[in-house]
Amino acid sequence: MDRRRFIGQTIAGGIWLGRGAAAPQIPLREIAQDASVFIEREEPAQPHKGKVLAAIQPHSDDLPLFAGGTVLKLIKEGYSGILIRTSNDEMAGRGATMGEVVLNNEKDNFEVARRLGLKKIFDLHYRNHEFDAVSPGELRHRLIFIFRLMKVDTVICYDPWGHYEENPDHYVSAQCVEAACWMAGGRWDLPEHFEAGLEPHAVKEKYYFARGPQLVNRVVDISAVIDQKVEVNRANVAQGPAGEEGARLRAQLASKKLRLPILGNDDETANRQYIKHIVLKEDADLGRKYGLQFAEPFHYIGPKEPMLDTYIKENAVPV
């Protein structure tokens, strides 16, 4: 037996899933068919109308790569949404100076939000790669303020319990988001907010994504929005896969008298197809396991029914 597979299928008795290039020593997408994984399918109506989604990412390329399809789907199904970017993205991407890198990524992030259908951006601008030096309390307080101000119902962000995540920007942001979600509902947390007109408001639903292994309990069908997800990724010019990678690969192969049919016959098609079929290949691989075309995996935490209500429902008898 493949030892890594053994680990993947026995820890927590559940479903573990790898994602992305961050943890290459762990087999990716080790998901077994299991009744505990809920498949969230496309909704024809708008069941989420009136609800507010906060899509949260440390860097401009996180959501587009790992959860862009689900954000697009939820917005299509009625959510209104905001984008919170926690870092200033100063360490990654194009630019002659660090200042230019920050500006280029900031512009890309605006375009990412627009293409995702998110109406407002909160840029927190903490320094890239330095989140283990950020005060968790300060970041948490800023998030609580935004959750109360915007009356956020649902967040989508990195999994604070994802394994083998090496980037402190990812795991510190995720931990602060998780704590802020419930503390935002507390009447003694940051009471000065209430003097300013805000009210306690807890976040009730969470979609957590990860680059490495995580406990997956929800697979979201993104087949209907995959082409839009490609376009969201193309907005990341500074550090994402928006460039000419597809065209370059096509030219390289041609010089060796080879061709990938999937890349088509022109550079523009090659660039799009490169993202759809190579950069986002894991979305197709996961989809195939669940009878879908393209899918994204999450650890989902939903609203909890109060324990007393459940107890009454299960045990009360007519008198």
Question: Do residues 149 and 163 make contact, with C-beta atoms less than 8 angstroms apart?
Answer: no
Shortest distance, CB of residue 59 to Zn ion, whole angstroms?
4
User: Closest Cα to residue 298, out of 174, 156, 167?
Assistant: 156
Shortest distance, CB of residue 297 to Zn ion, whole angstroms?
17
CA torsion angle for 65, 69, 71, 76 (degrees, to 10)? 160
> Distance (Å, rounded) from C-alpha 111 to C-alpha 106?
9
> Distance (Å, rounded) from C-alpha 207 to C-alpha 106?
24
Question: Do residues 280 and 294 make contact, with C-beta atoms less than 8 angstroms apart?
Answer: yes
Shortest distance, CB of residue 56 to Zn ion, whole angstroms?
11
Shortest distance, CB of residue 253 to Zn ion, whole angstroms?
30
Shortest distance, CB of residue 170 to Zn ion, whole angstroms?
6
Using CB under 5 A, count the residues that bind Zn ion: 2
Told to check if 165 binds Zn ion by CB under 5 A, we report no
Nearer to Zn ion, 62 or 221 (CB): 62
Nearer to Zn ion, 65 or 184 (CB): 65
Nearer to Zn ion, 93 or 287 (CB): 93
Nearer to Zn ion, 62 or 178 (CB): 62
Reading phi first (left if > 0) and then psi (alpha if -120 to 50, else beta), residue 49 is in beta
Radius of gyration of the chain (CA): 21
The closest residue (CB) to Zn ion is 59
> Distance (Å, rounded) from C-alpha 227 to C-alpha 269?
12
Please give the residues from 15 up to 74 whose contact with Zn ion meets the rule CB under 5 A: 59, 62
State the residues that interact with Zn ion by CB under 5 A.
59, 62
